Every structure is written in structure tokens, then in C-alpha cells.
């Protein structure tokens, strides 16, 4: 698999999500990000 992403767009999205997510959690699964990739046509 090969992934190409625009760094500035990705970083902005991560920053937006990090503002909405608690910095500490007791549930380990909530400490990461889930990426869903879709093929480009």
C-alpha cells in the first residue's frame, strides 16, 4: 500500500481533533486516531 497525503491538510485535521479529545483517558483505545482510507478514482 502507498499513502500520499498533504502534510498541511493532515496536520490541520489532527489539530482540530486534538482540541475535541480529552488529553487523558482511562480507556487506552481512545488515545489514538483511526484513519479510514478510500481509493482515489
**Which grid cell sits at 7?**
502534510
State if pTM tops 0.75. Answer: no
> Rounded to whole angstroms, how far apart are CA atoms 41 and 28?
35
pLDDT in tens, 1-41: 677 889 999 899 888 888 877 777 777 777 778 888 888 77
pLDDT in tens, 21-30: 777 777 777 7
Amino acid at each position: 500500500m502507498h499513502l500520499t497525503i498533504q502534510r498541511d491538510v493532515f496536520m490541520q485535521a489532527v489539530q482540530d481533533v486534538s482540541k475535541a479529545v480529552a488529553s487523558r483517558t482511562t480507556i487506552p483505545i481512545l488515545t489514538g486516531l483511526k484513519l479510514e482510507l478510500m481509493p482515489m478514482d
